């Protein structure tokens, strides 16, 4: 899996609406009436635009927002017992006048949306002690409204509409709950659940689910999260679709061809072994075209590809699958033969753009490189040109890096893709010298510098560019709002014999086995003794991209890392962030996600920060907003639990709702 393979941010982070939706805004009678609006998908609509037509909260009054209610889940793990540290990363959905959210322990909770009062809670009794590489995390649920038997228990003749809530659990189960009661649907699978463990090379804990499934054409589609850097032959990254009524498997799609059997995909005699290339992020669907858009991650192991020659298609890709069959409609690979953990971590976003005088349905897909690709939704053909350019080649024995990579000509990269020693940053002259010397010691040829035995600078690093936070699209302005990270990393391949000698592990960072490969892995994020990054600030930015012109409209520092790892003298603005933005017709972009515990509002026209307020802990999640009644208030909701990978950071279990007084 791939959100961010960090152990600790202190020692391993910085050492470690255009698109059709099944639920739309419901305008009130009268020309000046305010709309009401649900939030039925993780990204608001089926295509994941994260755009709300609500305007009650706007640029003129956002400064008056105040806490309306707080709900505490009770589910926190500090990582000090047999369980991993938890992160509260859920984005609730709102349907049928109810909020539905998940906790880090996979409990599903229904709330009354105007008061935060709990209506019901369901506990799937997830195996919390298993070693989930990404910690205890779940980002939400999906919903389905369909015709089911009048009596689900008896299967009696006749049927009626019934809303179901679907969750994919950390211990690899797909669960269907009655939205009204929270009771498992007995005619779905066995007792309301389907096992997701029956895949090639299944490994308990290392194969898990953190993202919500998606629903289309009475099917529930689910991917998986698979641990990084553990071994060569990791579990299959299969994507599967199940009948939303019965739980029966309808189709499976494998991102990589069958391998590990002694036959290579290029018909050579070389054994081809790998796994993963899994879809651990959020998927998008197009109900009109009956397509599922799947972002995939890297093939295993992440930093050595000698046992998986070629481009490793369809790893590191955005693919369109036919909803009824799972057949590949088209695919586009963003990184060939990935050696940098450059997953398609950000969800795909479906929109309609005006390009060269024509309205074109598109898929927008970014990744950790900082590149943003705009593809025709029907064909996968780039709307803005993409060219294959030569890139630095590996000097590691046994490795054959791919000779070229796809560079979009527009929009430009959203983050720096190179850092020289002369650009090293430090809080004082001594730290600056330390960072400069460390950079000089690394192989450093800009983006796509391959891992090496001496150590290579990977920029952006594996938390850099666009991560699972994703982006939001304002259709009235054709602006894409996205938070990006600027955090280079050192990556070194360690020969197996040396890797086995723990006495040689003198440098702080992550040591990962990559079992079955001739090399283990060492990586850390370049940081000074103060724990702040060695790369020049800002380390995190909020960016608005003009998707008609393919240009950056504005880019501003996002948040602060002033208090990371202890007290510092004043540091420049800009924080690493995990948790994405939403945009509203009120002219606002809302986002939390930063290391500092704030949620903020920005003027979407200018990028000016016009409101912020402190949360109980960092909001490492994407917010959502809704208004359920004509006379009701617009609410803004964010999960504030702290970052799962930042062990020094305070934790919370608070779901916080804001509204105007």
Look up residue 249 and give its two tokens.
């498997």
Please choose, from the candidates 431, 385, 461, 439, the residue with its C-alpha nearest in 3D space to the C-alpha of residue 2.
461
What is the rounded CA–CA span in Å between residue 240 and residue 205? 19
Please choose, from the candidates 317, 168, 330, the residue with its C-alpha nearest in 3D space to the C-alpha of residue 255.
317
Centroid of chain to Cα 260: 29
CB 363 within 8 A of CB 353: no
Q: What is the mean pLDDT of the chain?
A: 91
| Residue with the two structure tokens 């590949």 | 328
Q: How many helices (H) and strands (E) does the chain have?
A: 2, 42
Domain borders along the chain are: 9-150+158-659
| pLDDT for res 151 | 57
Segment 137-153 mean pLDDT: 84
pLDDT in tens, 439-494: 999 999 999 999 999 999 999 999 999 999 999 999 999 999 999 999 999 999 99
Residues near 15 by Cβ (< 8 Å), separated by ≥ 6?
8, 508, 509, 524, 525, 527, 531
What is the rounded CA–CA span in Å between residue 643 and residue 16? 13
What is the rounded CA–CA span in Å between residue 224 and residue 104? 16
| pLDDT for res 562 | 87
What is the rounded CA–CA span in Å between residue 599 and residue 619? 7
Q: Categorize the per-residue pLDDT at 266 as very low, low, confident or very high, splitting at 50, 70 and 90.
A: low
CB 84 within 8 A of CB 131: yes
What is the rounded CA–CA span in Å between residue 217 and residue 94? 20
Q: Categorize the per-residue pLDDT at 270 as very low, low, confident or very high, splitting at 50, 70 and 90.
A: low
Please choose, from the candidates 352, 413, 405, the residue with its C-alpha nearest in 3D space to the C-alpha of residue 383.
352
| pLDDT for res 15 | 35
Look up residue 220 and give its two tokens.
């529930």
Alpha helical stretches, state H, 105-226: none
Q: Of the segments 170-174, 264-268, 563-567, which one has the largest average pLDDT value?
A: 170-174
CB 5 within 8 A of CB 510: yes
pLDDT in tens, 104-133: 999 999 999 999 999 999 999 999 999 998
Phi and psi, residue 656, nearest 5°: -115, 130
CA atoms within 13 A on the CB side of 229: 25
Least confident of 74-88, 146-160, 238-252, 373-387: 146-160
Q: Categorize the per-residue pLDDT at 27 as very low, low, confident or very high, splitting at 50, 70 and 90.
A: very low
Please choose, from the candidates 16, 18, 42, 40, the residue with its C-alpha nearest in 3D space to the C-alpha of residue 469.
42
| pLDDT for res 523 | 96
Please choose, from the candidates 168, 107, 119, 209, the residue with its C-alpha nearest in 3D space to the C-alpha of residue 653.
107
Residues near 357 by Cβ (< 8 Å), separated by ≥ 6?
none
Radius of gyration (Cα) for the chain, nearest Å?
23
What is the torsion angle, in degrees rounded to the nearest 10, for the CA atoms of residue 312, residue 366, residue 213 and residue 601? 160
Least confident of 141-150, 212-221, 257-266, 427-436: 257-266
DSSP characters over 242-277: EETTT--EEEEE-SS-S-SSS--TTSSSS-----B-
Which residues share a beta bridge with 220?
Answer: 215, 242
CB 98 within 8 A of CB 179: yes
pLDDT in tens, 394-450: 999 999 999 999 999 999 999 999 999 999 999 899 999 999 999 999 999 999 999
| pLDDT for res 249 | 98
Please choose, from the candidates 117, 119, 105, 104, the residue with its C-alpha nearest in 3D space to the C-alpha of residue 183.
119
| pLDDT for res 293 | 99
Which residues share a beta bridge with 457?
Answer: 490
Please choose, from the candidates 49, 86, 46, the residue with its C-alpha nearest in 3D space to the C-alpha of residue 285.
46
Write the CATH number of the domain with boundaries 9-150+158-659: 2.140.10.10
What is the rounded CA–CA span in Å between residue 654 and residue 104? 12
Residues near 60 by Cβ (< 8 Å), separated by ≥ 6?
none
3-class state of residue 615 by DSSP: coil
| pLDDT for res 500 | 87
| pLDDT for res 569 | 75
* Other C-beta atoms lying within 10 Å of the C-beta of residue 520: 24
pLDDT at residue 261 greater than cutoff 80 = no
What is the rounded CA–CA span in Å between residue 635 and residue 625? 5
| pLDDT for res 484 | 98
Look up residue 232 and give its two tokens.
């060569």
CB 174 within 8 A of CB 194: yes
What is the rounded CA–CA span in Å between residue 305 and residue 261? 17
Phi and psi, residue 190, nearest 5°: -110, 110
| pLDDT for res 102 | 98
Q: Categorize the per-residue pLDDT at 646 as very low, low, confident or very high, splitting at 50, 70 and 90.
A: confident
What is the rounded CA–CA span in Å between residue 643 and residue 661? 30
What is the rounded CA–CA span in Å between residue 308 and residue 425? 37
SS (H, E, C) 168-231: ECCCCEEEEEECCCCCECCCCCECCEEECCCCCCCCECCEECCCCCEEECCEEEECCEECCCCE
| Residue with the two structure tokens 């669907």 | 285
Q: Categorize the per-residue pLDDT at 161 as very low, low, confident or very high, splitting at 50, 70 and 90.
A: low
- Between strands 51-52 and 582-584, the pairing is parallel
Question: Catalytic site residues?
Answer: 341
User: Which one-letter DSSP state was computed for residue 404?
Assistant: E
pLDDT at residue 638 greater than cutoff 90 = yes
Residues near 295 by Cβ (< 8 Å), separated by ≥ 6?
279, 281, 282, 283, 317, 318, 343, 344, 345, 346, 347, 348, 365
Length of the chain, in residues: 661
pLDDT at residue 565 greater than cutoff 90 = no
Give percent of the chain above pLDDT 90: 83
What is the rounded CA–CA span in Å between residue 654 and residue 641? 6
Q: Categorize the per-residue pLDDT at 20 as very low, low, confident or very high, splitting at 50, 70 and 90.
A: very low
Angle (nearest 5°) at CA 630 between 624 and 636: 20
pLDDT at residue 181 greater than cutoff 60 = yes
């Amino acid at each position: 899996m791939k959100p961010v393979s960090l152990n600790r941010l202190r020692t391993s982070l910085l050492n470690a609406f255009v698109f059709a939706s099944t639920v739309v805004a419901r305008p009130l009678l009268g020309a000046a009436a305010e709309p009401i609006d649900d939030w039925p998908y993780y990204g608001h609509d089926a295509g994941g635009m994260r755009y709300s037509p609500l305007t009650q909260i706007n640029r003129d009054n956002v400064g008056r927002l105040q806490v309306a209610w707080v709900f505490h889940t009770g589910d926190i793990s500090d990582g000090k017992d047999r369980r991993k540290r938890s992160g509260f990363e859920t984005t609730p959905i709102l349907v049928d006048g109810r909020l539905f959210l998940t906790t880090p322990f996979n409990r599903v909770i229904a709330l009354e949306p105007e008061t935060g009062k709990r209506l019901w809670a369901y506990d799937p009794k997830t195996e919390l002690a298993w070693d989930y590489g990404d910690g205890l995390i779940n980002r939400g649920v999906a919903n389905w409204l369909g015709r089911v038997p009048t009596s689900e228990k008896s299967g009696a003749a006749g049927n009626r509409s019934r809303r179901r809530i679907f969750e994919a659990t950390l211990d690899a189960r797909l669960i269907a709950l009655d939205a009204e009661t929270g009771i498992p649907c007995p005619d779905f699978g066995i007792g309301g659940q389907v096992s997701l463990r029956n895949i090639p090379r299944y490994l308990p804990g290392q194969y898990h689910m953190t993202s919500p499934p998606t629903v289309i054409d009475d099917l529930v589609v689910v991917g998986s999260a698979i641990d990084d850097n553990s071994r060569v032959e990791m579990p299959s990254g299969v994507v599967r679709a199940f009948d939303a009524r019965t739980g029966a498997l309808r189709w499976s799609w494998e991102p990589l061809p069958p391998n590990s059997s002694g036959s290579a995909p290029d018909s050579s005699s070389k054994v081809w072994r790998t796994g993963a290339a899994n879809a651990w992020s959020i998927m998008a669907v197009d109900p009109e075209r009956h397509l599922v858009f799947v972002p995939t991650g890297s093939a295993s192991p992440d930093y050595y590809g000698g046992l998986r020659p070629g481009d490793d298609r369809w790893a590191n890709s955005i693919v369109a699958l036919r909803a009824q069959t799972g057949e590949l409609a088209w695919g586009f690979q963003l990184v060939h033969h990935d050696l940098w953990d450059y997953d398609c971590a950000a969800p795909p976003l479906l929109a309609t753009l005006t390009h060269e005088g024509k309205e074109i349905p598109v898929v927008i897909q970014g990744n950790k490189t900082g590149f943003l690709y705009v593809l025709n939704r029907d064909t996968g053909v780039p709307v803005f040109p993409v060219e294959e350019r030569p890139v630095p080649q590996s000097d590691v024995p046994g490795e054959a890096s791919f000779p070229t990579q796809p560079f979009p000509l527009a929009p430009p990269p959203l983050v720096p893709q190179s850092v020289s020693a002369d650009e090293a940053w430090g809080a004082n002259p001594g730290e600056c010298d330390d960072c400069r010397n460390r950079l000089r010691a690394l192989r450093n040829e800009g983006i796509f510098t391959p891992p090496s035995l001496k150590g290579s600078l990977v920029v952006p690093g594996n938390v850099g560019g666009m991560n699972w936070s994703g982006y939001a699209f304002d259709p009235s302005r054709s602006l894409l709002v996205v938070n990006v990270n600027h955090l280079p990393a050192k990556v070194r391949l360690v020969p197996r014999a040396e890797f086995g000698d723990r006495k040689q592990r003198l440098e702080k960072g992550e040591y990962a086995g990559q079992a079955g490969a001739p090399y283990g892995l060492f990586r850390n994020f370049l940081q000074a003794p103060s724990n702040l990054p060695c790369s020049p600030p800002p380390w995190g930015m909020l960016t608005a991209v003009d998707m008609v012109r393919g240009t950056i409209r504005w880019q501003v520092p996002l948040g602060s890392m002033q208090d990371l790892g202890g007290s510092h003298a004043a540091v420049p603005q800009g924080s690493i962030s995990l948790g994405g933005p939403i945009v509203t017709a009120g002219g606002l972009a809302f986002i939390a996600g930063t290391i500092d515990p704030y949620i903020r509002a920005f003027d979407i026209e200018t990028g000016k920060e016009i409101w912020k307020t402190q949360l109980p802990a960092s909001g490492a999640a994407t917010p959502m907003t809704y208004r359920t009644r004509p006379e009701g208030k617009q609410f803004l909701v964010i999960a504030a639990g702290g970052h799962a990978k930042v062990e020094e950071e305070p934790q919370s279990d608070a779901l916080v709702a804001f509204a105007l007084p």
